[in-house]
C-alpha cells in the first residue's frame, strides 16, 4: 500500500548486511578493519549514551554495579 515506505525499510535492512559481514561474520580480518569496526562501535555507543563513563581507576576495576559491603556484627544469627 505504501511502496516508498516499504522501499526505505528494505534499503535500511540491506545496508545492515555488509555491516554484519564486515563486523561479525568475517573472523580473520586485518588489524585496520578491526580497529575501524571497534572505533565505529565505540562511536555508536557514545552517540546513544550506552558507554560507561571513564572515572577513577578504582571505579573501572570494580565495575559499574558493585554494591557496598554489608556491615558486620558480632551477634550470632537466630535460627
What's the pLDDT score for residue 37? 82
At CA 66, angle to CA 60 and CA 72, rounded to 5? 130
What's the pLDDT score for residue 70? 62
CA distances from 75 to 47, 68, 69, 79 (A): 51, 21, 18, 12
What's the pLDDT score for residue 13? 93
- Output the pTM of the full model: 0.43
pLDDT of 22 higher than 60: yes
Q: Where are the domains of the chain?
A: 3-48
**What's the pLDDT tens digit per position in 25-70?**
888 888 988 888 888 888 988 888 887 666 545 544 555 556 666 6
Residues in the chain: 79
Amino acid at each position: 500500500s505504501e511502496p516508498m515506505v516499504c522501499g526505505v525499510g528494505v534499503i535500511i535492512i540491506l545496508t545492515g548486511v555488509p555491516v554484519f559481514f564486515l563486523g561479525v561474520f568475517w573472523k580473520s580480518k586485518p588489524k585496520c578493519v578491526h580497529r575501524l569496526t571497534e572505533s565505529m562501535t565505540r562511536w555508536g555507543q557514545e552517540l546513544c549514551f550506552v558507554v560507561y563513563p571513564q572515572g577513577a581507576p578504582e571505579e573501572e576495576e570494580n565495575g559499574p554495579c558493585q554494591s557496598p559491603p554489608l556491615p558486620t556484627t558480632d551477634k550470632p544469627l537466630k535460627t
